[in-house]
Chain A
Amino acid sequence: MAQATSPPEVVRESGQARRYNSDAAGLGRLRAGAFAAPALLLIAVFLVFPALWVLYLGLTNYRLTGIAAAEPQFVGLDNLISAVSDPTFWSSTWLTVQFVLGSAVIGQVGLGFAIAWLLRDRQGPLKRLVEGLVILAWILPSAIVSFLWVALLDRDGGTLNALLSTPQFAPLLDHPMLSIIVFNTWRGTAFSMMLYGAALGNVPPSHLESARLAGASGWQQLRDVVFPHIRGHILTNLLLISLWTFNDFTPFLLTAGGPDGQSEVLAVHVYKVALQGGELGYGAAVSTIILLINLVVAVFYLRLLRSKK
């Protein structure tokens, strides 16, 4: 399924251009409709319909196998109620909050900004090397990087233990949440780094220079000149990466939610309950909650984009 993508900013047609007939090729509505139809049809069937269906499924006792698979019963809000009264749901939610706050908000934003700030005035091989490695961690397939971390953190022969001389230390078993938080920070910093790199490039050098002339320290420059300029970028970045991290399924590849549900974030929770456990109705109810949270974040994000215009 789609990685959530950052919607590009909407280009507004200027008032002048809008006045003229925009149908430059003389396409006409009928042909335009035919052009758009196949794409809209696929979106309707494979994106919109599933989203609506998940709402319906959440109201049934649908199961993967057994009687309820053949004749699902309408159970109303039972699934939702059993979800919110189920301690594993709440523990998953709490783990997800930790995951998003720890790896996205603190890890990726912090590290991404730090790298962009450190390298802001640099050119040349060192900058390319650092950026290249950070981006590499981002673009490699998730199945590969997950295994690389499994290898790194292995209890018996992992490179980390060899480096730290701590034999038998098993981070994935003893500190599963910390492991996936560090992993996801490593994995996703590139996006924030590039975004802040671009944002810092847009801070007018004359503003920084006049602050420096006034004797501002590095920290004061950051606070008084840089931060006001990139505030919008920070908010955009926070919303987007929170959305992505919240929906990230990669922790499953690292810990499969274990041990004993200690790293079962909501994305993994849905998979385990619905597709491994077969309780599709309950899984759909949790999916509905995820959809709603996504909706809230996305609407915030779009509001923000609009208000920038």
Chain B
Amino acid sequence: MTRFVLGRIGFYTLIAVLLAFFTIPLLWLVTAPFTSDPTYKVSVPDFTLDNFRAIAEHPYALPSLWNSVLLSAGTALLVVILAALAAYALSRVRLPGRDALLYTLLLLSSIITGTAAMVPLFQLAVQLNLIDSQLGLILILTGGLLPAAIFMMKDFMDATPKSYEESARVFGATPLQIVRHVVVPLVRPGLATIGVWAVANVWGNFLMPYLLLSDVEKQPAAVITYTLYTEGGQANLSMLSTFGLLYSIPVVLMYLFVSKKYGFRFHGGIKR
């Protein structure tokens, strides 16, 4: 009996420590935006909305969120379309060297990271005149995400029975009709998953836009946040916290959406 009670006490103590560890760093993000003249210290907010009014007037804050939207949506769209086409072809047709290609893609997606490739990517962007080009950044981000996306998509495609397509084919549908009428609706959950995954990846990415976009008007929220707290003198905390909250909310909403819709179970390649 005492052992049981001690066990309970131990359990809840551990849980309390864990909760404190994971909550305390986050508190500031939800209190400071509603506090007039916030400091680094977490304090009870006075529920002002002045900070939000101020941020609307900031020349780069809201535009940078829009830039984040542009970059994420553009990349996600490209990734979904290109990965779906490639994955379908690779899943259904035995192209020569397919298995080796897939293995190489898998390897590439793991080893060529931003860290390893930042030097040549910067070079490449300079050579191709893609510095300060959002389109260029979208292409580079897409190239980085595609191998993993193709792999995940191919999994979805492989798991889809071929009889649907064969059935449509016997009824006389052309390959493109089959893709439109049958394949795309069947793998829609897969397309959505890849889309969300790509958006989440780009939305939080700091290194690539930091490297390749130097024009403040083109920079996404990740870079603007960093600029806000490193540039000259005392950081504007009300601005930073409010902006941070606005920048974080879409990610949280997306997470809630995914976990509601698909159940955020552990899934092979889904990382942020």
Chain A residues engaging chain B, CB cutoff 8 angstroms: 1-11, 13, 17, 20, 22-29, 31-33, 35-36, 38-40, 42-43, 45-51, 53-54, 57, 114-115, 118, 126, 129-130, 133-152, 154, 156-160, 162-163, 186, 191, 194-195, 197-198, 243, 247-250, 253, 256, 266-267, 270-271, 274-275, 280, 283-284, 287, 290-291, 294-295, 297-299, 301-302
Contacts and interface: CB of A to CB of B under 8 A. Distances in A.
Contacts of A141: 203-204, 206, 221-222, 225, 247-248, 251
B53 interface: no
Nearest to B126: A64
B219 to A, nearest CB: 11
Interface in B79-112: 82-83, 85-86, 88-95, 102-103, 105-112
B24 A1 contact: no
Nearest to A189: B22
B112 A33 contact: no
A281 B224 CA distance: 29
Nearest to A286: B119
B178 A25 contact: yes
A287 B117 contact: yes
Interface in B165-187: 165-166, 168-169, 175, 178-179, 182-183
Closest 8 CB pairs of A and B: A46-B143, A1-B114, A8-B268, A2-B144, A32-B93, A24-B165, A24-B162, A35-B89
B149 to A, nearest CB: 8
Contacts of A115: 18
A270 B120 CA distance: 12
Given A1-B141, A8-B268, A24-B92, A280 B119 contact: yes
B144 A130 contact: no
Tell which of A43, A115, A197, A297 has the most Cβ of chain B within 10 Å: A43
Interface stretch (B34-42, B44-52, B54-62): B34-42
B26 interface: yes
B28 A54 contact: no
Contacts of B221: 141, 143
Contacts of B63: none
Contacts of A39: 82-83, 85-86, 146, 150
B262 to A, nearest CB: 14
B94 A22 contact: yes
A53 B92 contact: no
Contacts of B269: 5-8
Contact of A140 (B23, B147, B248): B248
Nearest to B223: A143
A245 to B, nearest CB: 11
A163 B148 contact: no
Interface string B205-227: 11110010000000001110110
B229 A6 contact: no
B69 interface: no
Contact of B208 (A1, A26, A145): A1
A2 B39 contact: no
A69 B93 CA distance: 46
A251 B120 CA distance: 22
Contact of A294 (B110, B211, B267): B110
Given A126-B15, A144-B225, A51 B112 contact: yes
Given A35-B85, A291-B116, A4 B140 contact: no
B225 A51 contact: no
A130 B18 contact: yes
Contacts of A136: 22, 26, 252, 255
B115 A249 contact: yes
Contacts of B4: none
A163 B123 contact: no
Interface string B120-153: 1111100000000000000111111111101110
Contact of B244 (A17, A31, A144): A144
A295 to B, nearest CB: 5
Contacts of A148: 25-26, 28-29, 244
A4 B113 contact: yes
A129 B18 CA distance: 11
Contacts of B192: none
Contacts of B272: 3, 138-139
A285 to B, nearest CB: 10
B70 interface: no
B108 A143 contact: no
Contacts of B247: 141, 143-144
B56 to A, nearest CB: 19
A25 B165 contact: yes
11 contacts: A32-B92, A35-B85, A39-B146, A137-B22, A148-B244, A154-B40, A159-B41, A247-B116, A267-B115, A274-B119, A302-B106
Contacts of A297: 110
A4 B111 CA distance: 7
